[in-house]
Amino acid sequence: MANILVVDDEPGIREFLVEALASDGHHLTEAASADAAVERLKHEEFDLLITDLRMPGKLDGMDVVREAREAHPDTRVIVLTAHGSVSTAVDAMKLGAIDFLEKPMSGPTELRTLVSRALSGVPESGSQPITDVNDYLRRQLARALGADYRVEDLIGKGGYAAVFGVHDLALDRALAAKVLLPEFASSEDTADRFRREARTMARLSHPNIMPVLFVGREREVPFFVMPRVQGSSIAEMMAAKVPLDPKQVVRVVGDIAAALDYAHDAGVIHRDVKPANILVDKATGRAVLTDFGIAKAVVPEGVSAATVPGVFLGTPQYSAPEQIAGEHDVGPRADIYSFAVVVYEMIAGRVPFEATSASRIAAQQLFAPVPPLSRHAPRVSRKIDSVMARALAKHPDDRYASASEFARAVENVLA
C-alpha cells in the first residue's frame, strides 16, 4: 500500500480524500496548508502527493509541486483544481504532475481510479501529458465522451470556444466537438450564448447548415458534437489572397444562399457570416454554414430579444452598417450584406474595406462607397460592380430581398 500526502486548506476535502483512500489500505498524511506540506516533503518521502493549487499563506500548491519534484523526483503528483484555476493546473502538469482531479468531486470512484493509475504508472488510455489548456480541454472531452470516441487534433480556436476532431469508433465516422473555453464557463452570458448556438443549429435541418448531433458536459466544460467536414474553410482557402476559381465561387454562393434563405425562413439571422464560418467539403465541393454563436431569432414587435441595442456583435470586415451602428432590429438583409462581402473577397482576393484598425473599418462600412470589384478582378465583367453595389448598400431596404436573389445575380455575371 502507498504512503500518500493529502494537501488542502478545506477540511471537508481532506476528510473526503482520506476516507476514500484509507479504505483501500493506503497510509494517509494530511497537511492543511502549502507551508506545512513543503515542510513534510523536506523530511519525509511519499509515493503520491495529492495537492490543491490555490491555498492561503506564503506558499501555494505550485510550491508544493516544485518541492515534491526537487526533493523526491519519483513521487507521483495529482493536482486538485476547481474552475478558474485551469491555467495553474496546466503549469503544474508542466512541472511533472501526472493528472488532475476537479473539485467538487462527484464521488470516490474517480479518485480511486486516478490514484490506482498513478501508483501503477499506467497513463490514462490514449492520453498524453497535459502541457497547455488545449490538452486540458482534450482530456475533459475524452472523459465525457468515453471509450467509444477518440479525441484527436485541435481543428480551430475562436474567441470563446475550441473545436477538436473526434473519431466515433463504433460507427467509424469523423466528428467535431466544440468546447467552451474554461475561462468563460462561469460567465452566464457566454454559457447561455453557447447553449443557444447548439439549440439554434439543432433546430435547423438543411444540407448546407452544420447540424448538431448531441450535446454534453464534463464538469465545467460544456460541448456539442457535429459532423466533421473534411476540407477547408473559405478563410483558409483565401489565406494567400488569391481569387477563387469562378466555378467554385458559383458553387459556394449557391450553397450558402440556400442555407441563409432556409435560416431566415426559420426566423434565424446568423449575424456573423464570414469566410471562417463557411466550410467546403473537399470530396464533394459542398459548402456548409456553421458557427451560429451570435445568431438572433426574429421576434415579434414588442417582445424583448436576446441582444441589447447599441452593442455591436460580429466581425467588422464583414458586418452590415446597421450591425456596426448597434441597431436593435437587425434583419436578414444584414446577413446578405455579410454574404456579399465574402463573395467580393472570393472574387477579388480581398475585402472591399481594409484599414489598420477595427474602428476605421467600421467607419468605412458606415460611410464609404463600395470600391468597384472589377478594379481588383479585371477578368470579371463590370456588371459585377452593380451587383455588389446593391448587395452592399448602406440601407437594408436597398439590398437584395433574399440571399438566393443575390446569388442568381452573381451567377449570371460569372457564367
Average pLDDT, the chain: 85
Residue 346 confidence (pLDDT) above 90:
yes
Q: Which residue has the higher pLDDT, 357 or 28?
A: 28
Distance (Å, whole) CA 289 – CA 42: 58
Domain span at residue 172 reads 138-227
* 223, 166: one domain: yes
Residue 297 confidence (pLDDT) above 60:
no
| pLDDT reported for residue 365 | 92
Q: Which residue has the higher pLDDT, 358 or 322?
A: 322
- The CATH number linked to 259 is 1.10.510.10
Residue 311 confidence (pLDDT) above 70:
no
* 241, 149: one domain: no
* 260, 389: one domain: yes
| pLDDT reported for residue 127 | 43
Q: Please state the rounded mean pLDDT for residues 368-384.
A: 94
Q: Which residues pair with 176 in a beta bridge?
A: 165, 226
| pLDDT reported for residue 124 | 45
- The CATH number linked to 178 is 3.30.200.20
Residue 74 confidence (pLDDT) above 50:
yes
* 198, 313: one domain: no
| pLDDT reported for residue 91 | 72
| pLDDT reported for residue 83 | 53
| pLDDT reported for residue 122 | 47
Secondary structure (3-state) at 214? strand
* 79, 172: one domain: no
Distance (Å, whole) CA 48 – CA 68: 9
Residue 349 confidence (pLDDT) above 80:
yes
* 168, 297: one domain: no
**Cell 464538469 sits on residue:** 219
* 104, 162: one domain: no
**Cell 463590370 sits on residue:** 382
Q: What are phi and psi of 149, to 5 degrees?
A: -130, 145
The answer to whether residue 261 is catalytic is no
| pLDDT reported for residue 158 | 74
- The CATH number linked to 91 is 3.40.50.2300
| pLDDT reported for residue 183 | 67
**Cell 458557427 sits on residue:** 291
* 299, 315: one domain: yes
Q: Please state the rounded mean pLDDT for residues 340-362.
A: 93
| pLDDT reported for residue 308 | 37
* 57, 123: one domain: yes
8 A C-beta contact, residue 311 and residue 322: no
Range in 59-73, 93-107, 118-132, 265-279 with the lowest mean pLDDT:
118-132
pLDDT tens digit sequence for 109-118: 778 877 887 7
* 405, 333: one domain: yes
| Structure letter (DSSP) for residue 396 | G
The number of distinct structural domains making up the chain is 3
Q: What's the grid cell of residue 159?
A: 474567441
Q: Please state the rounded mean pLDDT for residues 84-95.
A: 66
Domain boundary residue among 169, 192, 227? 227
* 55, 76: one domain: yes
Q: Which of 272, 281, 385, 397 is catalytic?
A: 272
* 193, 237: one domain: no
